Structure 1
Amino acid sequence: MNGLSFSELCCLFCCPPCPSRIAAKLAFLPPEPTYSFVSDEAGSKYSLHLTEKSEWQYSQRELDCIEVFMTRTSKGNRVGCMFVRTSPNAKYTILFSHGNAVDLGQMSSFYIGLGSRINCNIFSYDYSGYGMSSGKPSEKNLYSDIDAAWQALRTRYGISPEHIILYGQSIGTVPTVDLASRYEVGAVILHSPLTSGMRVAFPETKRTWFFDAFPSIDKVPKIVSPVLVIHGTEDEVIDFSHGLAIYERCPRAVEPLWVEGAGHNDVELYGQYLERLKQFVSVDLAVN
């Protein structure tokens, strides 16, 4: 998320809803696709093909544990979905909404590692305009994208809401908060969340304007599920104050993870990240 030019500032205050375009510029950085879906002869089943840019770290055996398919959103876009089976006895499946500059191919190795270490299966999807997904990235499409992923997870795999953990990272916290404010789930994890687009672009913003994008701060109080907030104290993209504000508004927030010295893209490299997630899944949720 970068600074705004003078003309964009003028546009922001003089002629809303132009800010939606600015929000898209700030938030969405789809990479060149790092994967493809290859269909079988019948055209009914897909297999995952990864390019070198995906930086796959495992063997064919792990790749065979990944199921991929396409589903359609209410906006008419087709979004790519990925189900990573890492544990046959997993109690929870994580519905993961990733950050803004990656796609499913780049995230696939991380999903294998994370799921196997915290004993959860992982279901993820690409936003409209990312990877194999059609359409263009936008705030409205984010919400319809996660709705389509949610419905696919519920219907295709028959997983009940109490066994689903919603996990959002960075821009992925936006659709995660939106869905969590409408459905009760097993739990919610908000990793480097933002309060709203205006508050990121203009840190002195104290209220939510009618044209603000991604107003998560106003939706968080409606979340009735347990929420774990994770944020690096030296986050250079979404200031640490956003994580604090989100945490303070969550009715059922558990002990947060503030990673001392971590920035926006390296929280996972700190040992306490995995330890806190393990504790959240195995201890905190057992109490809640």
Structure 2
Amino acid sequence: MKWIKRLAYFFGSLYALVCVVLYFQQERIIFNPTVLEDSFQFWEGEEVYVPVEEDIDLHALWLKQPSTRGVVLYWHGNRGSNRRCLRQAENLAGLGYDVFMPDYRGYGKSDGHISSEKQLFADAQTVYDWLKQHYREDQIVVLGYSLGSGVATYLGTTNHPQHLCLVAPYRSMVEMKNLILPVVPSFLVKYPLRNDQRLGNVKVPVTLFHGTQDELIPFEHSLFLQKLLPQTAQLISLDGKGHRGAIFSSVLREELHYIIKNNI
């Protein structure tokens, strides 16, 4: 019987070690930034810096239209930087609205590093407030893709933009954890990003876009989220699109144009 106890102790210790490592390495697991030199020049858009804390600025690209009627505030996914995501922003541009794309802390030319969900949301609110100095709130469409859907949903609950668009959103990071490591306790998730708990409190029109062949965040996540707001949220299926293909979808562009054109 001693060998059974030793084996149980070994696997118990291994499990505890894995949990500890996962807890303290979450920033590396969730966020995958690319750092850019300050001298790097973008081929499109105006570069601006939004101060979010003393000595901490977020870098953003501002793609302006000649005669704009508003702005799409775009929160990109967890990989790369504005350099990698510029093509995504370009797919959202040219529809009569400017596009404003901030980088998170530690991404691209942004200062600092992400250390908590509270900080992530506070930075997003600061960016939103900065934009309100240039646009009326009813001229702001908040759009979040993948990781950015959690940031966008938060802004939708604390503000009153014209429209909230979520592309390939997740129910929560807790549910994403459960897909991969269900044996790890949920309380260890430092960035729960609970779209499933916040979206029901959004008071503005919501449109969800999700690829039916999404290999990272299952399409069922959007089905669940849409049911939280059956009267005010619509789900647009992107047939045959995977996770990355969703943000480049022509259907997304067309529907966003409809939203902007009709000011809904």
Sort the TM-score into its range (normalised by shorter chain). Answer: 0.7 to 0.9
* Mapping for residues 224-263 of structure 1, pairs under 5 Å: 224-250=203-229, 253-263=232-242
Show the counterpart of 2:31: 28
Q: Deviations over 1:126-160 (max 9, x none)?
A: 101101111112433321221221121112x2x11
Structure 2 residue matching 1:243: 3-state secondary structure:
helix
**For the structure 1 residues 99 and 153, does the alpha-carbon distance in structure 2 shift closer, same or farther, using more than 3 Å as the test?**
same
Q: Residue 180 of structure 1 aligns to a residue in which SS?
A: helix
**CA RMSD across the alignment:** 2.8
The counterpart of 2:52, out of the listed 61, 73, 77, is 73
With the length of structure 1 as denominator, give the TM-score of the two structures.
0.75
Bigger radius of gyration: 2
Equivalent residue runs for 1:117-136 within 5 Å = 118-136=95-113
Q: CA deviation at 1:244?
A: 1.3
- Name 1:265's counterpart in structure 2: 244
TM-score (structure 2 length as normaliser): 0.82
User: Aligned residue for 1:49?
Assistant: 41
Offset at residue 191 of structure 1 (A): 0.5
| C-alpha spacing 1:224/1:23, structure 2 compared with 1 (3 Å) | farther
Q: SS in structure 2 opposite 1:79?
A: strand
Q: Match of 2:244, SS?
A: coil
- Is residue 125 of structure 2 the alignment partner of residue 147 of structure 1? yes
Cα deviation 1:189-248 (Å, max 9, x = unaligned): 00111111120121397xx95554211211111110100101111111111111111211
Residue 107 of structure 1: how far off its partner (Å): 2.6
CA distance in 1, matches of 2:24, 2:164: 29
Aligned partners of 2:160, 2:230: CA distance in 1, in Å?
13
**2:103 partner amino acid:** D
Give the match for residue 60 of structure 1.
Answer: none
Please state how far the C-alpha of 1:278 moved relative to its aligned partner. 1.8
Q: Is 1:276 aligned to 2:252, yes or no?
A: no
Q: Is the 8 A contact 1:224 1:251 kept in 2?
A: no
Q: Distance in 1 between matches of 2:229 and 2:250?
A: 25
Question: Please, which runs of 5 or more residues in structure 1 have no aligned partner?
Answer: 1-5, 39-47, 51-55, 57-62
Query: Helix, strand or coil: the match of 1:238?
Result: coil
Instruction: Tell me the distance in 2 between the aligned counterparts of 1:252 and 1:68.
Output: 39
DSSP-derived class of the 2:65 partner? coil
**Which structure 2 segments of 5+ residues have no match?**
1-11
Cα gap change, 1:96 to 1:268, in 2 (>3 Å): closer
Aligned pair 1:100/2:78, yes or no? yes
